[in-house]
Amino acid sequence: MDKHLAKLSKFLSLILRHKPQVIGLQLDVNGWADVGQLIDLVNQHGIAISQELLDVIVQKNTQERFTYNADRTKIRANQGHALAIDLELVAEVPPTLLFHGTATRFLSSIRTRGLLPGSRQHVHLAAEELDAIRVGQRHGHPIVLIIQAEAMCRAGYQFYCSQNGVWLTEMVPPRYIEFPGGSVRQSR
């Protein structure tokens, strides 16, 4: 994705995941925005976007951040909301292991408190280690944590898989995290 499209994608992430009020947009309870209204409000905000450009952003975003409804009249972010949104996710049994990319500066807090969603609704986990590395690189030198997802699920924690394949859970206690160097703080 070129720089212009990446900038527009980040702006749409801000609007559809965190602050729709910046442009006066209303999301429904499931996070959907009317496509025509979104385009109009973004343009009124001084950022040129068309249906065709929005289609390109949805199609070319490598992280598949956005999705249209069946008749393409509505759009929403697939996950990562700071807003209280019901994505209509159904709990699923996760793979045995999932991965979380972060930076070394966060390890001390994670060792103590585990993985918390922060301002988002869920902790984001990847099924593939390479995806976790890519996410971790956004925060500095990447570190990949291995999550004992199957053990968490057996202990009653719920997992959801978003439309773009990101695994979500409310939090990950330290005992289910394998830290760099192989130290697992697990009490099974």
63 lies in the same domain as 114: no
Q: Would you say residue 91 lies in a domain?
A: no
pLDDT of residue 87: 81
Query: Do residue 159 and residue 103 come from a single domain?
Result: yes
Cα(117)–Cα(129) distance, integer angstroms: 20
Spatial separation of the C-alpha atoms in residues 175 and 59, rounded to whole Å: 38
Note the pLDDT of residue 184: 47
Kindly report, residue by residue over 140-182, the tens digit of the pLDDT: 788 999 999 999 999 999 999 988 889 999 999 999 999 987 5
**186 or 133, higher pLDDT:** 133
Range of the domain at 11: 3-77
Please report the pLDDT score of residue 137 as a whole number. Answer: 84
CB 16, CB 76: distance < 8 Å: yes
Residue ending a domain, among 77, 106, 134, is 77
- In this structure, are 110 and 68 located in the same domain? no
CATH number for the domain spanning 42: value is 1.10.10.970
Instruction: Determine phi and psi for 180, rounding to 5 degrees.
Output: -50, 140
Per the domain annotation, does 173 fall within a domain? Answer: yes
- How many whole angstroms separate alpha carbon 111 and alpha carbon 51? 45
In a domain, 84, yes or no: no
Statement to judge: residues 63 and 107 lie in one domain = no
Q: What is the pLDDT of residue 110?
A: 95
CB 97 within 8 A of CB 148: yes
Residue 82 lies in a domain: no
Percent of the chain with pLDDT over 70: 95
Query: What are the pLDDT digits (tens) for 6-34?
Result: 889 889 999 998 999 999 999 999 999 99
**Mean of the per-residue pLDDT values for the chain?**
89
Buried residues in 109-141 as b, exposed as e (16+ CB within 10 A): ebeeebbebeebbbbbbbbeeebbeebbeeeee
Cα 74 to Cα 20, 29, 148, distances in angstroms: 14, 13, 36
Shared-domain flag, residues 103 and 72: no
Residue 104 is predicted with a pLDDT of 87
Judgement on whether residues 141 and 66 belong to the same structural domain of the protein: no
Model pLDDT, residue 80: 76
Total count of domains within the chain:
2
- Do 110 and 169 belong to one domain? yes
pLDDT digits (tens, 9 = 90+) for 120-130: 889 999 999 99
Using CA of residue 179, residue 182, residue 186, residue 188, what is the dihedral sign?
positive
Mean per-residue pLDDT for 54-79? 88
